[in-house]
Amino acid sequence: MTFLSLISRPQTPGVETMGLKVRLIVVAGLTLAMAACGSSGGSGGAKSEPAAKPLAGSDWVLTGMTPAVRALAGVSVSARFADGAISGHSGCNTYHGSYTQRGDRLTIGTVAGTRMACPPAPTAVERGYLERLAKVKSFTRTATTLVLRDASGATLLSYAAPSADAINGSWIVTSLYTGDALVSPTGTLTAKFANSSVSGDAGCNTFSGGVQVDGSNITIGPLASTQRACLEADKTKQESQYLQALGLAKRFEVLGDRLSLFRADGGYAVVFTRAGVA
């Protein structure tokens, strides 16, 4: 019996008609099942987005604020994320606080900082920066950029990864770690970084050695120096402290004309200002 003859003849409920109904129900059921498989992660379904990369262990230099703050062009701001803590330079003062990351969701906790008085431009930048940090709810990042966004997805703060070449150049020491304190040096101590090496004046003798830079991480040494005897005991002691402080450096940060070398515990090892800057 053909399908056409089945339709054209008057039908009475029977086995053949019931069989057709069963077949139609089975086909409909298979169609629904295939659609369900396709929408539940099968080969034809939408792929889940990769998890956001953890921010811990990353360092950033601020490149923009939205809405824009004109004074930012002459002010340096930074952010470092480490084990649930955020810290950095907010324009004039240093700051620290906590953060929570869940995927690409980000919340910045209460931020505290030093209270040094600042000129108008750094003050305006600092105020704007800290206000925006408090509104952060999510982020996007690449290997070289970081963007912090508010609850609506609008951009608040934009950063770039620090350049390893930023350390290159000539620097003058403004403070150094002596083992129990950070002090200003007596006389002029210098360092010149170039081509994976460092050299400079330690106060009595000159020194040189190798430098390894990986992102914002740094290893200095071993260092060798000339062996001229210093006439002043204080100079001899300071020279030894300076070379030891350089060897303690584990991370660096360049903000404008300031270079900071940090110890493994996060404290300063040596702080420089760029040579030739008043």
Task: Assign 108 a pLDDT band (cuts: 50, 70, 90).
Answer: very high
86 assigned to some structural domain: yes
Same domain? 186 vs 267:
yes
Over range 107-135, report the average pLDDT: 93
Task: Assign 22 a pLDDT band (cuts: 50, 70, 90).
Answer: very low
199 assigned to some structural domain: yes
Same domain? 182 vs 227:
yes
Owning domain of residue 252: 164-274
Same domain? 246 vs 266:
yes
Residue 91 reports pLDDT greater than 60: yes
Of 143, 244, 141, 135, nearest in space to 189 by CA: 244
Q: State the pLDDT at residue 275.
A: 93
Over range 172-186, report the average pLDDT: 94
Domain of 261, CATH number, reads 2.40.128.270
More confidently predicted of 103 and 38: 103
Provide the number of structural domains found in the chain.
2
Same domain? 227 vs 264:
yes
Over range 30-37, report the average pLDDT: 45
Same domain? 92 vs 141:
yes
Residue 13 reports pLDDT greater than 60: no
34 assigned to some structural domain: no
Over range 252-270, report the average pLDDT: 88
Q: In one letter, which amino acid is 18? A: M
Task: Assign 183 a pLDDT band (cuts: 50, 70, 90).
Answer: very high
Residues 6+ apart with CB under 8 A from 53: 141
170 assigned to some structural domain: yes
Task: Assign 75 a pLDDT band (cuts: 50, 70, 90).
Answer: confident
Same domain? 169 vs 121:
no
Same domain? 154 vs 203:
no
Q: Which of 15-19, 20-24, 45-49, 212-216 shows the highest mean pLDDT? A: 212-216
Same domain? 172 vs 217:
yes
Same domain? 208 vs 257:
yes
Q: State the pLDDT at residue 173.
A: 97
Task: Assign 278 a pLDDT band (cuts: 50, 70, 90).
Answer: low
15 assigned to some structural domain: no
Q: State the pLDDT at residue 271.
A: 94
Q: Are 173 and 249 within 8 A, CB to CB?
A: no
- List pLDDT tens digits, range 158-177: 999 888 788 999 999 999 99
Task: Assign 26 a pLDDT band (cuts: 50, 70, 90).
Answer: very low
Residue 66 reports pLDDT greater than 60: yes
Residue 73 reports pLDDT greater than 90: no
Same domain? 155 vs 181:
no
16 assigned to some structural domain: no
Same domain? 63 vs 141:
yes
